Chain A
Amino acid sequence: MNVITKWRFVRILLTTGSLFIGWILFSGNFVPASLIIGLCFSFAVAVLTYGIFIDEKEADRKGLLPRFHILFFYLIYLLIKMYLASFKVLFNVVRGHINPRVVHFRTKLKSDLARVILTNSITLTPGTITLSIDDDHLVVHWLDSKTTHSKYAGLLIKGTMEKMLKRTFI
């Protein structure tokens, strides 16, 4: 058995495991018949879709995500920031006073996954939407613009989020 076949079995096992956890969560009971049916079907789905769930060249996934626990604090920070920014947008709508601008800035993050998470959180925060990303160059639409200076705008928009992600992904 060569290493590619072994890696294929590991991938099928991992996919089956995560599908089975989803089955238990969404069925909500521990009757043996339900568990056996769930295991069979998650194995069947895993055999069909393991190539999409875990890519063949992703054997270093642990290297991509070295410090997973910071992401938990990141989620809490994102929630708090979402609520604060939501109140700002709320007041903007009520007063009818907006100052929309398109700002360009760069990010220091290196890996693709970190960049996807950063752009998704910028879009998730009310008041800013990522229009386009090209390597490390972000184009962001800002509802209530404070400045047009690109470095200062980047500091205001990404700020702490980029620092936390940089610590997570090295």
Chain B
Amino acid sequence: MEWIVYGFLFLGVVFNLIGNLGVLIFPDVYTRLQASSTCTTTSVISVFIAAMTAAGLSAVTGKIFVIALFFFVSSPVAAHIIARYAWNKEIIPWRRTGGTVKTEEEKNE
């Protein structure tokens, strides 16, 4: 049982680290949003699962389940609103043209 808790907490840490690394690496608003919002969602859900496993069958598990359900609804809506604002502002998505990923500064040079 303890190993499941440790495994999910480790997964949460890894997803959060890589997601935030993606924000630094990726080129434009859409891809950065992909890395930040969606990877972070998975990490938070991992932490919730770890907490529910650690708490066992008690009232705390119900509380965490309700919070997780709320997070399931609110997190995609927040990501969608940012993405829709960028789309309606007519920001053109970055597209791959061959070679490695380039940042804004490298493209301007």
Residue positions of A touching B, CB distance < 8 A: 22, 25-26, 28, 79, 82-83, 86, 89-90, 93-94, 96-102, 119-121, 123-127, 129-132, 139, 141, 143
Contacts and interface: CB of A to CB of B under 8 A. Distances in A.
Chain B interface: which size bin? Answer: 35 or more
Given A98-B96, A131-B84, A126 B31 contact: no
Nearest to B34: A143
Contacts of B76: 119-121, 123-124
Nearest to A27: B59
B101 A96 contact: yes
Contact of A124 (B26, B31, B60, B72): B72
Nearest to B49: A79
A82 B94 contact: no
A123 B19 CA distance: 15
Given A121-B76, A141-B83, 9 more contacts: A82-B42, A83-B42, A89-B35, A98-B31, A100-B30, A100-B96, A124-B38, A126-B34, A130-B80
A12 B38 CA distance: 37
Contacts of B41: 82, 124, 126
Contact of B25 (A90, A96, A101, A139): A96
Contact of B77 (A100, A101, A120): A120
A16 B1 CA distance: 38
B73 interface: yes
A143 B37 CA distance: 13
